[in-house]
A = this chain, B = another copy of it.
Amino acid sequence: MTVTAVTRIGSVSRWQPNARGRLRQAAFELYGEHGFDQTTVAQIAERAGLTERTFYRHFTDKREVVFSGEVQRVLVSTLADSPTGMTAMEAVTAALTAAGAVLDERRELTRRRQAVIAANPRLQQREQMKYATLAADMAEALRGRGVEPSSAQLAADAGVAVFRAAFERWIDEHEHRDFDRLVRATLDELAAVISG
């Protein structure tokens, strides 16, 4: 278990092993049991066996547990750092593969997360906005690599479309293939649809 946080209670210093992971686990349990709107930060901290102060050291609020943005950061940074010899779409594919490695490690938690979002219209709206921001950020990363603006936007939009379609398959409880394999199948399907 990795040690990720130190909590100071009074003058006593205590290590909190993987506090962030425990808080996230507790939050998704409670969101699933009582609904997102009905869950408080106090309840999340209690379920995780931690203090509210520790919660706020890791997350701004209870919504940030759902939208931590880690997958988005991996997508955008991989895109920005991709070798210059790659075409825009090769760089997008590499970014989707890198994001898949993060996702595959937390498949059960992500399924739980999606169930929470599906049950709450405001969270769904927030997720839509995150995808719009992701497409804009990916386009910017591609422009930073010298890709012409309109091609950068189209490659980013295509990348987000493939991400979402692959994600929808991957999240299904009967689906066992890795994210990366689903990305490649979806890319082929998109190419066939476009040329069809």
A186 CA to B148 CA in the complex, in Å?
13
Q: Inside 8 A of A171's CB, which chain B residues have their CB? A: none
Mask: chain A, 182-196; 1 = CB below 8 Å from B; 0 = not:
000010011111111
Mask: chain A, 123-138; 1 = CB below 8 Å from B; 0 = not:
0010011011000000
Which of B128, B165, B194 interacts with A150 by CB under 8 Å?
B165
Tell whether A155 is near chain B: CB-to-CB under 8 Å.
yes
A89 near B193 with CB under 8 A, answer yes
Tell whether A157 is near chain B: CB-to-CB under 8 Å.
yes
Interface residues of A in 150-190 (CB under 8 A from B): 150-151, 153-155, 157-158, 160-162, 164-165, 168-169, 186, 189-190
Tell whether A88 is near chain B: CB-to-CB under 8 Å.
yes
Mask: chain A, 40-71; 1 = CB below 8 Å from B; 0 = not:
00000000000000000000000000000000
Given contacts A128-B129, A132-B128, A161-B157, contact A196 B150 (CB under 8 A): no
Q: Inside 8 A of A168's CB, which chain B residues have their CB? A: 150, 153
Task: Give min CB distance, A92 to chain B, whole Å.
Answer: 9
B154 near A196 with CB under 8 A, answer no
B154 near A88 with CB under 8 A, answer no
Q: Inside 8 A of A160's CB, which chain B residues have their CB? A: 157
Nearest-CB residue, chain B, relative to A185: B150
A residues sitting closer than 8 Å to B (CB atoms) are: 87-90, 125, 128-129, 131-132, 150-151, 153-155, 157-158, 160-162, 164-165, 168-169, 186, 189-196
